[in-house]
Amino acid sequence: MSMTRDLAQLHDKQFDVLIVGGGIYGVWAAWDAALRGLSVALIEKGDFGSATSSNSLKIIHGGLRYLQHADFKRMRESILERRALMRVAPQFVHPMKCVMPTYGHWLKGKEVMAVALCINDLVGFDRNRLPDPQKRLPRGRVISAGEVKALMPDIDDTNLTGGAVWYDCQVYNSERMLFSILRFAVEHGAVAANYVEMVRFMRNEDRITGVLAKDGLSGEEFEIRARLVVNNGGPWFRALLERLNGNVKKPEVGLSAAMNLVVKKRLFPEFAAGVWSRTSFDDADAVLSKGSRLLFITPWREFSLVGTAHVPYVGSPDEFRISRSDIEEFVAEVNSAYPRAEIKPEDVTFVYAGLLPMDGVNEKSGDVRLLKNYRIIDHEQDSALKGLVTVVGVKYTTARDVAEKTLDLVAAKLQARAVPCQTAETPIFGGDIADFTGFTFRQKARLAGAYSPETVEHLVLNYGSEYPRVLS
């Protein structure tokens, strides 16, 4: 089925569900709804995935860091989602080794990390229940100070006791992954259109019945009717709710600017390195590792991806920009944490920056408190307004799971035929690969002489089993 933008399809019928917002949460929801047999429309005011969803550190977290909050539920959710993404998007999601130095014998010490890694493996006891051997994640372990210094030259060795090694995943191309989810949603009946902005909600007494939308290319306004509307607006979710003129409660959630830098240096080509920032950081909710935060330097193509900096943001998401001073300040923080990096502002070739939901700001330190848990808000329950659900997502990793829970609620409210979620098991576009290493090897052999091995690998990493469509 074509991905042609056809706005006539949007106003020719009433949909079961209309999703406003084409980021990662919106496209997973559209894919889920389509697989459940619901008629679904998805509109996005800009390019699909052009805001926060494409601006991340590209790590699929298994949740080890949630141990510092003793949040085992969130940790388990992340481990299950990491496994699900390796299963349904094998061309994009690949294991990545992570190394972090340990200091002293207390909260940042080797002994505490040994226990944490053991708990991580226990909570993720089923992490390797996948058919593909390439997706296997080894057990975490601690290593000696000498091994750490060999891996991370010039790391601060004051009170260095060793290091921790564990495995998470990296998404090779988050933008292409989002589009691959969307493509299969459309092939299964979803109607999707970019550059379509919601102007206002349509309302009949105490029920939302759809939206008035505007074509961003022609300026034409038209109605989209739906039995239920899902607000997946990302940083714009509050702005969308404000169009109800105070007739709905708005979550007390602020915004934080998150920034990751692409640097023209291969600092750690074989693994992601965690380095402790020397800038003080106060996480009031943390049980462990209070007082500082971990920065990650990850291998990214021929460069390095460094993150993440967080600063409070006040203003319209439409006006969000990262300033040169923000970049220079973060570069200085990274160089202080790992002097051997010697990053200069001119080494920064790209900035991934997006807006994340914020729970507040520490009054003493000014540090951002990110929202830790997603929210699915049924406005019939909180504002007596039927036909509207708002989603506030917090992590790229868990977007599929939150979409599943959202569609469980949507299906119940629509009294739809009970169809279980299938997105944790159904491969996305190009994901029909049982053995990624073997598949890639066979394609290189098949196309030898016509294309270089590097070209074939690039095609497989971006298009998976559907790469022949690109060649044809």
Residue 426 within any structural domain of the chain = no
Domain span holding position 228: 7-52+175-252+373-414
pLDDT above 90 as % of the chain: 83
Same domain (yes/no): 81, 40:
no
Residue 366 within any structural domain of the chain = yes
Same domain (yes/no): 133, 264:
yes
Residue 429 within any structural domain of the chain = no
Same domain (yes/no): 217, 344:
no
Tell me the two tokens of residue 326.
Answer: 């923000």
For residue 2, what pLDDT is reported?
56
The 10 Å Cβ neighbour count of residue 147 is: 14
pLDDT band for position 70 (cuts 50, 70, 90): confident
For residue 288, what pLDDT is reported?
53
For residue 281, what pLDDT is reported?
56
The pLDDT tens digits of the residues spanning 16-58 come to 999 999 999 999 999 999 999 999 999 999 999 999 998 889 9
Cβ within 8 Å of residue 297, ≥6 positions away = 267, 268, 272, 273, 275, 304, 305, 306, 334, 338, 341
Residue 222 within any structural domain of the chain = yes
Same domain (yes/no): 266, 234:
no
Last residue of a domain, one of 370, 399, 422: 370
For residue 67, what pLDDT is reported?
83
Same domain (yes/no): 166, 277:
yes
Cβ within 8 Å of residue 249, ≥6 positions away = 379, 382, 383
Question: What is the Cα 142 distance to its own chain's centre?
Answer: 28
Residue 449 within any structural domain of the chain = yes
Residue 379 within any structural domain of the chain = yes
Same domain (yes/no): 402, 292:
no
3-state secondary structure the chain: CCCCCCHHHHCCCEEEEEEECCCHHHHHHHHHHHHCCCCEEEEECCCCCCCHHHCCCCEECCCHHHHHHCCHHHHHHHHHHHHHHHHHCCCCEEEEEEEEEEECCCCCCHHHHHHHHHHHHHHCCCCCCCCCHHHCCCCCEEECHHHHHHHCCCCCCCCEEEEEEEEEEEECCHHHHHHHHHHHHHHCCCEEEECEEEEEEEEECCEEEEEEEEECCCCCEEEEEEEEEEECCHHHHHHHHHHHCCCCCCCCCEEEEEEEEEECCCCCCCCEEEEECCCCECCCCCCCCCECCEEEEEEECCEEEEEEEEEEECCCHHHCCCCHHHHHHHHHHHHHHCHHHCCCHHHEEEEEEEEEEEEEECCCCCCEEECCCCEEEEHHHHHCCECEEEEECCCCCCHHHHHHHHHHHHHHHHCCCCCCCCCCCCCCCCCCCCCHHHHHHHHHHHCCCCCCHHHHHHHHHHHHHHHHHHHC
pLDDT band for position 203 (cuts 50, 70, 90): very high
The pLDDT tens digits of the residues spanning 166-198 come to 999 999 999 999 999 999 999 999 999 999 999
Tell me the two tokens of residue 423.
Answer: 């997105």
For the chain, what is the largest distance between any 2 Cα atoms, rounded to a whole number of angstroms?
70
Same domain (yes/no): 400, 299:
no
Same domain (yes/no): 366, 455:
no
Residue 2 within any structural domain of the chain = no
Same domain (yes/no): 155, 242:
no
The pLDDT tens digits of the residues spanning 352-370 come to 999 999 988 877 777 888 9
Last residue of a domain, one of 340, 370, 400: 370
Taking each helix axis as running N to C, give the angle between helix 436-446 and helix 453-463, from 0 to 180 degrees, rounded to the nearest 10. 130
| CATH code of the domain covering residue 258 | 3.30.9.10
Same domain (yes/no): 150, 193:
no
Same domain (yes/no): 167, 179:
no
Query: Under a CB-based contact definition with an 8 Å cutoff, are residues 63 and 401 in contact?
Result: no
The pLDDT tens digits of the residues spanning 241-286 come to 999 987 888 888 999 999 999 999 999 999 999 999 887 655 555 5
The pLDDT tens digits of the residues spanning 436-451 come to 999 999 999 999 999 9
For residue 355, what pLDDT is reported?
95
Question: Among all chains, which residue has been given the structure tokens 């998805």?
Answer: 42
| CATH code of the domain covering residue 180 | 3.50.50.60
Question: What is the Cα 395 distance to its own chain's centre?
Answer: 5
pLDDT band for position 292 (cuts 50, 70, 90): low
Question: For residues 173-203, b (16+ Cβ closer than 10 Å) or e, as one string?
Answer: bbbbbbbbbbbbbbebebbbbbbbbbeebbb
pLDDT at 287 over 60: no
pLDDT band for position 69 (cuts 50, 70, 90): confident
Residue 423 within any structural domain of the chain = no
Same domain (yes/no): 314, 217:
no
Distance CA 392, CA 231 (A): 9
Give the total number of structural domains in the chain. Answer: 3
